[in-house]
Amino acid sequence: MKKVRIAIAGASGRMGRMLIETTLKAADAELVAAFDQPGSPFIGKDAGELVSQPCGVAITTDVAAGLAKADCLIDFTRPEGTLHHLELAKAASCGMVIGTTGFSAEGKAAIAAAAESIPVVFAPNMAIGVNAVFKLLEVAARILSEGYDVEVIEAHHRLKIDAPSGTALRMGEVVARELGRDLETCAIYGREGVTGERDAQTIGFSTIRGGDIVGDHTVLFAGIGERIEITHKSSSRMPYASGSLRAARFIAGRKAGLFDMQDVLGLK
Ligand SMILES: NC(=O)C1=CN([C@@H]2O[C@H](COP(=O)(O)OP(=O)(O)OC[C@H]3O[C@@H](n4cnc5c(N)ncnc54)[C@H](OP(=O)(O)O)[C@@H]3O)[C@@H](O)[C@H]2O)C=CC1
Ligand SMILES: O=C(O)C1=N[C@H](C(=O)O)C[C@H](O)C1
């Protein structure tokens, strides 16, 4: 069996560590490179030591050299880091799985442009369960298209830097698309003061940040006399990592193209 050769960016981050652990456990994947930013105390250390499983792959800042050995870079960092790595991946003809959230429209356009020459899976949530929820939301939105107010509520740990979460925004996009609305114009991000009555066409977002919450998302369809809530709760980052490896296997052998987890899971 040919193993998919994996490089991991943001190695010492929360997702980086989970990705290292998951890659080292996978029979059909091989960790070939791990990157951290210059100044990281982990540079030069064995990446496997981060998860108590030394593996002989040192954490480095030399992304170009690492990508020359890899089939796929899995990147859960920050938009500016991911976009820099994207250029290096293009130069190395290396595929990318991008889990980073919080991109501007320009950042997303740069990812789409790069995917014309390398294969890229770009998804705000790699967990199978969340991607199943995206499908459930399509059905719910179609059935509840009249008379139900839509609100998206998300909760994450205190260290998360972007809001609303990428997943919450995608949930809003899924519902808006089914309802024939444009999320750009119908989204309301939080409310304060004298807001006036709710506009039925809007989709509201509420954000909670605290403690070590891994990631909770609820879409509420609030009608008169009843309400429907579709909720996903993460209790571990493991499903994000195993989904990412599934995405890496999906792009192995592909020449180019922009995909998301719905493509990887055959849900389109
Ligand atoms: N799609 C999905 O399924 C999921 C997506 N995410 C997203 O992944 C991203 C990372 O999350 P998480 O692991 O919790 O974050 P962490 O802050 O724990 O880790 C981020 C890592 O990226 C590094 N980093 C930061 N800036 C740069 C840069 N400019 N260039 C290179 N490396 C950089 C950090 O290094 P340093 O410590 O030195 O700053 C750190 O190692 C977030 O955008 C989050 O929303 C998270 C979970 C699931
Ligand atoms: O930062 C996180 O932790 C997470 N980020 C992703 C998002 O913004 O949707 C996915 C997951 O919710 C965890």
The CATH number assigned to the domain holding 22 equals 3.40.50.720
43 and 71 housed in the same domain: yes
39 and 110 housed in the same domain: yes
Structure confidence by residue, pLDDT tens digits, 56-95? 999 999 999 999 999 999 999 999 999 999 999 999 999 9
121 and 25 housed in the same domain: yes
Strand-pairing partners, residue 227, are 222
ipTM given for this complex: 0.99
The total domain count for the chain is 2
**How far, in Å, is the centroid of ligand 2 from the Cα of 154?**
10
98 and 10 housed in the same domain: yes
User: Is the model's pLDDT at 1 over the cut of 90?
Assistant: no
Look up the pTM and report it: 0.98
**How far, in Å, is the centroid of ligand 2 from the Cα of 224?**
32
Residues designated as active site? 156, 160
Range of the domain at 56: 4-126+237-264
Considering every ligand atom shown, identify the ligand nearest to the alpha carbon of residue 99 and give its number: 1
143 and 84 housed in the same domain: no
